[in-house]
Structure 1
Amino acid sequence: MKKDFYLMRYALIIRRLEKSPATYKQLKNYLLNSFEFQDAGIKEYSIRTLQRDLLEIDKLFGLTVSNRRNGDNCYYIESRPEMEIDEYNQKLLETYQMGNALNVSHSHSDAIFFDNRKPGGLNHIYNLFFAIRNLRISKFHYYNYQTRKITPRKVHPLALKESRDRWYLIAVDRKDKKLKSFGLDRISNLSVTEAMYVNEYDYNFREYFKNAFGVMKLEDQSPEKIVIECSRQQGEYIMGFPLHHSQKVVGKIDKNIVFEFFLHPTYDFLQEILSYGKEVKVLEPQSLINEIKVHLMESMKNYF
């Protein structure tokens, strides 16, 4: 069996067991009949491989699979991590699944097409991840779009965050001891030093970004209820790919769909709303409505 196929196996096993308990034979048939296994040309799956896979699934994703319930010899998901971690693991699995599917189908470049626009700075991710895990002080040069200047930075790297297809480093700047976000595409001359910093920070980033849209300075404003009205067609797109986990449908106006969110009304969110043009209208809060009016008026000046 191909060694680089293990992540796909884990994803398929979890997908099958989330439907219902299954015997080894049922799991084996499910895997061998999957399109993923067929594309990879895999025609066998032993009980020993299953047992190894279940141990790795437990270690990687904190998801315990057992086969001792009522003596029926069926494998089933016995326990899983807390909800937030489980959601993270699910996204990780989906990423693995797509990545492995593309590796299997690498010869079918006429069937799968990628956007030519790629985020910058991805070459920094591994080094920064290493720095975060090992509490290493890091140095780099950073370009500021507003001042159009490049400045040297020395930081305590704490986390990496993806937002709207861009990656950001969340770190404490040693110059002023403030928590900041740095776009990886604007980082150059990165150096992970041998010096370690004392991890005296108690940031809970899951909680910190819980009501966030983007990575703007969240301390500047509090999260609040935001209500928008969308055309039926645009609303269905937003239901299919939610803007935020707090999103919920709260009603209809004529044929339009009304959504409610609870988040920080950041500039990133304002930009997202503006990108939908006439298809989306903000109903509340008034402060966001006023801000959008100002932006629209300024935009109009560009065409007169």
Structure 2
Amino acid sequence: MAKRDQMLRLMHISNLLQNKKNIGASYDEVRQYLEEKHFDQKGYDNDLAFSEKTFKRDRDLLLEIFGIETQFKRSTMTYQVVDDENVENAKGIFDNLLLINAYKQTAAYSKIMFFEKRQASGLDHLDGIIYAIKNSKTISFQYRKYWEDVSHKKVLQPYALKEFRNRWYLLANDVDGKDFFLKTYGLDRITDLDISSKKFSKKEIDIEALFIHSFGIVANLDDKPEKITLSFKQNQKGFVKSLPIHHSQKILIDNNEEYRIELNLIPTYDFYQELLTHAERLKIVEPKTVRIKYLEFLQMAMNMNKKL
């Protein structure tokens, strides 16, 4: 397993090559960039130990751990990232690494970084669940839904883990179910996790494809995605542009009057909750069905507050 210093190097190498994806970067440019980061951030445990042999090993690790492939272009004597997609997938891990590094630098200073205190728990189950997924082991645990007072035992075939809004969810098939169906289970609601020695025959499923048109953790396989057009006030553009609502987001209009985008997804409860966070800054251009449903949520909120 790569150590923290090495993970920081992998992150910086990936960032540099991504920023120079059209022209690439030479070995000397990579080394100079790492030296600047090494001394500026003061986040490393040791002196920078970097050579062409180290660079080769780091590029192999980028491919092995993150799926980020790099290639050497002899005509320009530079290195380039082959595919941008896996760079985006690794960004969440790199962001967490930056947080760890920042925390290490500020741990002795209590009033520099203020972390969210209401984060959901459950990550202590992560290692065990990952082991079970990799080795096709059946698992069991006690699971309590938020709206129930008692927990229930679940015996499951685990397939994958998915993050949504800083919470992690397990995608698994219920052994007691009649048909194969992947359900979601919040890790923060799991207790008494047990990994069985019993293995199961794993089905070949493209998990990513299941959620390609979804928002959140609900995969509506029987529904077709809709083209949804949203119009925001101009002063909201920066927020929506820097943190897209969905990966399908396309810009239709970007001027001094409005910022209009198009999404291609299946509207779910989680999606409407996301729209409600924009409330007075948002207009739903089309389709009408989505606009009506959105207004229903707003009306319910108004009715509840009128009763107070």
Q: TM over 0.5, yes or no?
A: yes
Q: 1:268 aligns with which of 247, 267, 270?
A: 270
2:135 aligned partner: 134
Equivalent-residue separation in structure 1 for 2:146 and 2:48 (angstroms)? 55
Q: State the shift of 1:214 in Å.
A: 0.4
- Is 1:27 paired with 2:33? no
Q: CA deviation at 1:252?
A: 6.0
Match of 2:15 in 1: 15
Relative to 1, partners in 2 of residues 1:75 and 1:105: Cα closer, same or farther, differing over 3 Å?
Answer: farther
Give the secondary structure class of the aligned counterpart of 1:211. coil
Q: Which residue of 2 aligns with 1:49?
A: 54
Residue 145 of structure 1 aligns to a residue whose secondary structure is: coil
**Paired AA for residue 110 in structure 1:** K
Name the CA distance, whole Å, in 1 between partners of 2:256 and 2:73.
55
Partner SS for 1:110: coil
CA distance in 2, matches of 1:265, 1:303: 25
Please say if 1:192 is aligned against 2:170.
no
Distance 1:218 1:16, change over 3 A: same
Distance 1:59 1:257 in 2: 40
Query: Conserved in 2, the CA contact under 8 Å of 1:80 and 1:86?
Result: no
Does the CA-based 8 Å contact 2:143-2:153 persist in structure 1?
Answer: yes
Partner of 2:294: 292
User: Per the alignment, in what secondary structure is the counterpart of residue 40 of structure 1?
Assistant: coil
Separation (CA, whole Å) in 2 of partners of 1:118 and 1:76: 39
Q: Percent identity?
A: 28
Structure 2 vs 1, CA of residues 299 and 94 (structure 1 numbering), >3 Å: closer, same or farther?
closer
Residue 214 of structure 2 corresponds to residue 209 of structure 1: no
* CA deviation after TM superposition for structure 1 residue 226, in Å: 1.0
- For 2:297 and 2:41, locate their aligned partners in 1 and report how far apart those are by CA, in whole Å: 53
- Residue among 222, 247, 250 paired with 2:249: 247
Matching residue's letter, 1:59 = E
Counterpart in the other structure of 1:218: 220
Separation (CA, whole Å) in 2 of partners of 1:8 and 1:152 = 41
Aligned to 2:144: 143
Which consecutive unaligned segments of at least 5 residues does structure 2 have?
Answer: none
Distance in 2 (CA, whole Å) between partners of 1:205 and 1:253 is: 38
Which residue number in structure 1 is paired with residue 160 of structure 2? 159
State the alpha-carbon separation in 2 of the partners of residues 38 and 299 from structure 1: 47
The structure-2 alpha-carbon separation of the partners of 1:65 and 1:240, relative to structure 1 and needing over 3 Å to count, comes to closer
Q: What are structure 1's unaligned runs of at least 5 residues? A: none
Question: SS state of the match for residue 227, structure 2?
Answer: strand
Q: TM-score, normalised by structure 1?
A: 0.86
Matching residue's letter, 2:31: K
165 and 38 in structure 1: CA distance in 2 versus 1, 3 angstrom threshold: closer
From the superposition, tell whether residues 69 and 158 of structure 1 become closer, same or farther in structure 2 (CA, over 3 Å): same
Distance in 2 (alpha carbons) for counterparts of 1:189 and 1:10: 36
Q: 251-260 or 184-193: which moved more? A: 251-260
Note if contact 1:65-1:75 (Cα within 8 Å) is conserved in structure 2. no
Question: d(CA) in 1 for partners of 2:59 and 2:255?
Answer: 50
d(CA) in 1 for partners of 2:73, 2:304: 69
- Compute the displacement of 1:15 (Å): 2.6
Deviation at 1:216, TM superposition (A): 1.9
Moved more, 160-169 or 115-124: 115-124
Distance 1:23 1:175, change over 3 A: same
- Report how far residue 109 of structure 1 moved: 4.5
Shift of 1:186: 1.4
Deviation track 1:162-181 (CA, whole Å, cap 9, x = no partner) reads: 01111110111112132211
User: Does the 8 Å contact 2:210/2:219 carry over to 1?
Assistant: no
Q: 1:163 to 1:5 in 2, by over 3 A?
A: same
- What secondary structure is seen at the aligned counterpart in 2 of 1:303? helix
Give RMSD over aligned pairs: 2.7
Partner Cα separation in structure 2 for residue 111 and residue 49 of structure 1: 34
- Residue 42 (structure 2) aligns with: 39
- 8 Å CA contact retained: 1:32, 1:43: no
